[in-house]
Structure 1
Amino acid sequence: MDKIRRYFITLLLAFAGFNSSTGHTQQGQSQNSQQPPQGFLYGVGIGINQEIYRGYKRRTIPLPLIGYRGEKLSVYGPFVSYQLLQHANFSVSAKLAPRFAGFDESDSNVFAGMAKRKSSLDGGIGVQYRLQSWVVEAETLVDLLGNSNGQESKLAVGYNMRFGPVLLEPKVGISYADSKLVDYYYGVRLNEATSSRMPYSAKSAFNYNAGISLSTPVFFGGMTRLGIEHHWYDTSISNSPLTDRDSGVSAFLSWSKFF
């Protein structure tokens, strides 16, 4: 995990340094000649997450999409963003996002006798900086429903590459989850311990991810998005008696169209 941490920090710093030098050489050029479309949209989506819990192979999340994109407000299914500040290539937004996580006893035998860990709704602040094809994003979200009472902060760097009607964006990221969040989803309380499931108090965690997404408007008159990410988890999570892996893959596919 230390090697992965050093690799991601080095990669993020390299991206940031290249981003900065690119900005000096290309200052004053137009960032994007076209404004994104606005209005109401509809569509469908599905997310699949390879779980690291023992006996729980994957989580499948169907998402009917009803949304809206305006000058400041963006609603994409259960994900909501409202722009609070815009200055040149820098913006600050308020965000709401569901947290599809947790388990109940029916998901795996390893959870027998444990209290349900619920999915939740997170809210907070995100910042974004765009320069030419580079995108740097950071956000801090807290649990609004009081399930874990935890918070998570993320930093990601992406690069947009266009090939005709296809937009590709490779991205790397780091996240920090505090001990309340990690312990809620991966800890074992004293009254939940058994001979095969020791009590476990999880600490805060640094997690890492790398992935690529594809967007194109060529199918059925709407926007199709496909993405895949690989996630590496901190030892605070992988050492839990509830888990048997230290990494996993997630993917999503969606299609949406403006009314």
Structure 2
Amino acid sequence: MQIGSRKAATAGITLLGLLASGSVLAQAAPGERPRSSLGLAVVAQKSPYAGYDTDVLPVPVINYEGRKFHFRGGSIGYTLFDNEKTEVSLLAQPHVMRFKRKDTDDLQLRQLDNRNLSAMAGAAVRHTAPWGVLQGNVLAEVSGHGGGIAADAKYAYPIPTGKVVLIPGVGVNYASSALNDYYFGISAEEAQRSGLARYRAGSGVAPYMDVTALMPLGAHWTATASLRRTLLSSAVKDSPMTRGDHMDTALLALTYGF
């Protein structure tokens, strides 16, 4: 287990997004605006890349909710429409995956090229109803890493249980072939250097399940715990760069809302 490694920053962005989403869902009553918050989280994630350890990382939590602009767990949004039940916004955020060859213990993967974080931009929608919350986004890669499209759709249902709000959710993430190939494909040159088989990744769909628990600690403080399991798509599982068929992520956080 490694503490504070740079590659774990992707885990921080992933679960801070879940943390921000959970805070918004827990305050999803009509007419009530989400609160801005500051705090600290500890995130743990097991990367799908072979030879990567489970990483544990302290990450600052910064969520800002303005009239038009918002910053939620690493994503920046501009609200186009909001009638208290439905919000439509423009969105920019990083694609939470990267590969650094020096961070793997696998000797063959050490011969491959690095894969960096990608910038994504697109649109997002969230609809709140008595039966739960639906949210989704469609994003395009805009940082010159081969292009590609990512989309995400999720359903969640906040359940008050005394002082704790439980928010179970299920969702699905889509990544196009261009995006998957950048992160999990192996070129002919890399295959020759490493001895791994050449691999061109196709598009893929990855379902996930998560649960978030929020416990208010007075008027301003909130403790949060989140768990997520993502089932890797066949395009990712079949890559010589990966091991296993799922990815788990966990988070503990303490935030101050205002």
Q: Is TM > 0.5 for Structure 1 vs Structure 2?
A: yes
Q: Any unmatched runs of 5+ in structure 1?
A: 1-30
Moved more, 171-180 or 81-90: 81-90
Q: Is the 8 A contact 1:165 1:218 kept in 2?
A: no
Match of 1:21?
none
Moved more, 183-192 or 83-92: 83-92
Please list the CA deviations of residues 143-193 of structure 1 after superposition, one character each: whole Å capped at 9, or x if unmatched: 232224222111111111012231111111111100011001110011100
For the pair shown, the structure with the greater C-alpha radius of gyration is 1
Match of 1:44?
40
Moved more, 47-56 or 184-193: 47-56
In structure 2, the CA distance between the partners of 1:99 and 1:58, relative to structure 1 (3 Å rule), is farther
Match of 2:21?
none
Paired residue secondary structure (2:127)? strand
Q: Any unmatched runs of 5+ in structure 2?
A: 1-27
In structure 2, the CA distance between the partners of 1:119 and 1:214, relative to structure 1 (3 Å rule), is same
Tell me how far 1:60 sits from its aligned partner. Answer: 4.1
Q: Is the 8 A contact 1:173 1:209 kept in 2?
A: yes
TM-score when scaled to structure 2?
Answer: 0.80
Paired residue secondary structure (2:183)? helix
In structure 2, the CA distance between the partners of 1:133 and 1:166, relative to structure 1 (3 Å rule), is farther
Match of 1:32?
29
Matched positions, count:
228
Q: Is the 8 A contact 1:63 1:77 kept in 2?
A: no
Moved more, 219-228 or 187-196: 219-228
Q: Percent of counterpart pairs with the same letter?
A: 25
Q: Which of 65, 70, 74 is equivalent to 2:66?
A: 70
Match of 1:87?
83
Amino acid at match of 1:175: N
Q: Which of 105, 113, 116 is equivalent to 2:114?
A: 116
Matched residues in 2 for 1:60 and 1:182: separation?
A: 25
Q: Is the 8 A contact 1:169 1:213 kept in 2?
A: yes
Tell me how far 1:258 sits from its aligned partner. Answer: 3.6
TM-score when scaled to structure 1?
Answer: 0.79
Match of 1:201?
200
Q: Is the 8 A contact 2:30 2:85 kept in 1?
A: no
Tell me how far 1:136 sits from its aligned partner. Answer: 0.7
Tell me how far 1:217 sits from its aligned partner. Answer: 1.8
Paired residue secondary structure (2:91)? strand
TM superposition outliers: structure 1 runs of 4+ over 6 Å: none
Matched residues in 2 for 1:200 and 1:72: separation?
A: 43
Matched residues in 1 for 2:34 and 2:134: separation?
A: 22
In structure 2, the CA distance between the partners of 1:58 and 1:120, relative to structure 1 (3 Å rule), is farther
Moved more, 126-135 or 65-74: 65-74
Instruction: State whether structure 2 residue 174 is matched by structure 1 residue 182.
Output: no
Match of 1:238?
237
Instruction: State whether structure 2 residue 93 is matched by structure 1 residue 97.
Output: yes
